[in-house]
Structure 1
Amino acid sequence: MTFLLLVLAIASEVTATVSLKLSEGFTKLVPSIIVVAGYGGAFFFLSQTLKRGMSIGVAYGVWSAIGVAAVATIGALFLDESLTAVQMGGIVLVIVGVLALELGAAH
């Protein structure tokens, strides 16, 4: 259940972030509403994840790493944004750092 809540937090945050781009500075109503609801949902689900005992470093690390990778991928695939080899390498490093946090928490 804890990881499901974390997945919901990540999905909400990614949806809100993509909608932020689509809102064009909050000039478009529907994407703007999705931004507010998405970030609200993201923090609610993250708080529930923490309430159930996941460590904050691991929860936030996983949330941010998957969020960064997902938003960068969505931007490249659907929003006509670039994703260079250096950027992809940076994403890999973030994910490796999160894995190090997770493995370190297991001891």
Structure 2
Amino acid sequence: MPWLFLVIGGLFEIGFTISLKYSENFSKLWPSISFFACISLSFLFLNKAINSGLPIGTSYAVWTGIGAAGTAIAGMIFFKEPAAFWRIFFLILLIGSIAGLKFVSSHN
């Protein structure tokens, strides 16, 4: 269950970064509300994962990695950011590193 909390928290991290972009410096109401809701839920689920026994270092690295990779992919899809070979290559390495942390973690 802690890993599920961590993945959900990472997904909300993607949500808050996308909302931040759409809020246009917090000048738009609904994207701003979405930002604050997503950031609160993201930290809530990160906290639940840590308090369920996952190591804080692993939890933070995985949570940040999910957010970073997901936001980069969302940027390519929704904001027409470049999807160059090396960018994709390093995103795959990042996702592989996230999976590796899950596999070497002593907590299941």
* Range of TM-score over shorter length: 0.7 to 0.9
1:5 aligns with 2:5: yes
Q: 2:62–2:101: 8 Å Cα contact kept in structure 1?
A: no
| Superposed counterparts of 1:1-107, under 5 Å | 1-106=1-106
Q: What does the per-residue CA deviation read over 1:29-77, in whole Å, with 9 as the maximum and x for residues that have no partner?
A: 1101111111111111100100000111221222122222211111111
> Contact between 2:19 and 2:34, CA under 8 Å: does it hold in 1?
yes
Asked which structure has the greater RCO (Cα within 8 Å, sep 6+), the reply is: 2
Q: Give the structure-2-normalised TM-score.
A: 0.85
**Normalising by structure 1, what TM-score?**
0.85
Number of matched pairs: 106
In structure 2, the CA distance between the partners of 1:102 and 1:2, relative to structure 1 (3 Å rule), is closer
Specify the code of the residue in structure 2 equivalent to 1:42.
S
Contact 2:10 2:63 in 1 (8 A): yes
How far residue 24 of structure 1 moved from its aligned partner, in angstroms, is: 0.9
Measured after TM superposition, the shift of residue 100 of structure 1 is 4.2
Q: Structure 2 unaligned runs (5+)?
A: none
Stretch of structure 1 that moved more, 2-11 or 43-52: 2-11
CA RMSD of aligned residues (A): 1.7
- % identity of equivalent residues: 35
Change (3 A) 1:101 1:3: closer
